[in-house]
Amino acid sequence: MTPSPIARAEAFRFWLKLGFISFGGPAGQIAIMHEELVERRRWISEGRFLHALNYCMVLPGPEAQQLATYIGWLMHRTWGGIVAGALFVLPSLFILIGLSWVYMAHGQLPAIAGLFHGIKPAVTALVAHAAWRIGSRTLKNAWLAGIAVGAFVAIFALNLPFPLIVLIAGLVGYAGGRMAPDKFKGGSGHGSAQAGYGPALIDDHTPTPSHALFSWARLRVVLAASLGLWAAAMAGLVALFGWQGALAQMGWFFTEAALLTFGGAYAVLPYVYQGAVDHFHWLTAPQMIDGLALGETTPGPLIMVVAFVGFVGGWNQALFGSDSLLLAGAEAAGVVTFFTFLPSFAFILLGGPFIESTHGKLQFTAPLTGITAAVVGVIVNLAVFFAYHVLWPQGLGGRFDGGSALIGLAAAIALFRFKVGVIPVVLGSGLAGLILQQLSL
């Protein structure tokens, strides 16, 4: 029997719950939505779910958050999309603001310092595992492996900016797709649809709702609203704090980052590092590693680590004076989150009606295949960068941190060999770091 229409209040409660339980990175979050919406609640069929997911995977930005936005929009119009997408992010934002305050205000306490000492090598292992996981799915031939190696050399040895690497990889993919199309075929990587769940509220053959039909008039309205909202927010920051002010610079920088996050959060982190650490000096390299550790242990998209970057930047800049550091950090975290996720909402509300005009499975383009291969090399560079700062905290001329090396090795074995989840690895590593810190006192 087809499920009854879902009331807005029921949908709101589900999206709020999802915001608090969406651990495990994109794969885990998509699995949770599949289990809840496709298998158990039957709000959407597997075919329609995968169709939406394929679209989200070719967009820059966090695909799990965009998928929630898409399904919410398909069910309850623009209201549903905004609620689903926002509730996917807001719990993580508030949790990260609280954790960031603890980190900045009390991070020097021995117990907290010990926890982070153990978590840092675990984060290094997590990044290496991400590179292996993505590479094993992506680098299917020598062409793609060559792009990955080239991207690693470009960012590690030549220090080329991430946007330029993305552009070059896309051009190589375009050319390769014309020269050897069989080498640049893409796919969703999420398997084929499975039957047997019963009829769904939005089934494979359910007619497209009227609000999801494509029209140029609607596209112009959504585009104008999206650009107007972005411009109004940016103009407000410039008017209040000036173009060179930290908040306006954060808004502009994270808008750029939001448009470059092909391949997920791990892929854009090197770009965020280059800007936030090297160029703007909003935070230090060790703080960036600590922020990724916090992002790994909170619900929501991993790209929410940018909220930590914003909080620490606002705190370090003392935007509102030395007596209002918490306010400065929270304000900056909110600004960064707004500008990072606004494009994701725009992509879904703009492109959703076009995607609904066909239910055929989308294919990756050859340029995107090239970009995805380059992402592997960029993530390997990130793992090398983290390992350097964790194992030689005073530089290569300083001492080698054997304790961190042991914790990182144990974390890697847990991830690669025993397939242990992210949260147990991070928590166990933090406990190991605390024990080592107590033994060294």
Concatenate the DSSP letters of all residues of 178-195 into one string. Answer: HH-GGGG----SS-----
Instruction: Chunk the chain into consecutive blocks of 10 residues (it has 441) and report each block's average pLDDT, rounded to whole numbers.
Output: 84 93 70 85 86 77 90 95 96 94 84 82 84 81 94 90 81 87 63 59 86 91 97 97 95 91 69 88 90 80 91 94 94 96 95 76 60 82 84 86 94 92 84 87 57
**pLDDT score recorded for residue 360:** 45
Nearest CA-CA partner of 62 in 253, 251, 212, 259: 259
405: Cα separation from own chain's centroid: 27
| Torsion angle in degrees (nearest 10) through CA of 416, 422, 425, 431 | 160
- On whether the CB atoms of residues 155 and 378 are closer than 8 A, the answer is yes
Residue of 424, 258, 426 lying closest to 347 (CA atoms): 258
What pLDDT shows up at residue 252?
96
What per-residue confidence (pLDDT) applies to 192? 36
Q: Give the pLDDT confidence score for residue 263 in this predicted structure.
A: 60
Provide the 8-state DSSP code for 418.
S
pTM for this structure?
0.75
Alpha-carbon gap, residue 5 to 17, rounded angstroms: 19
Residues whose CB is less than 8 angstroms from the CB of residue 191 and which lie 6 or more positions away in sequence, other chains included: none
Helix 110-138 with 366-391: angle, nearest 10 deg: 150
What are the structure tokens assigned to 293, written together? 């550790």
pLDDT for 27 equals 63
Domain ranges of the chain: 107-186+214-439
What is residue 135's predicted lDDT score, i.e. its pLDDT? 83
Residues in the chain: 441
Tokens linked to 425:
């690895």
Question: Which candidate, 187, 189, 190, 192, places its Cα nearest to that of 369?
Answer: 187
- pLDDT for residue 403: 93
CA dihedral 63, 65, 71, 74 (to 10 degrees): -100
Assign residue 423 a region: left if phi > 0, alpha if psi is -120 to 50, beta otherwise?
alpha
Quote the pLDDT of residue 32: 80
H or E stretch covering 371: helix 366-391
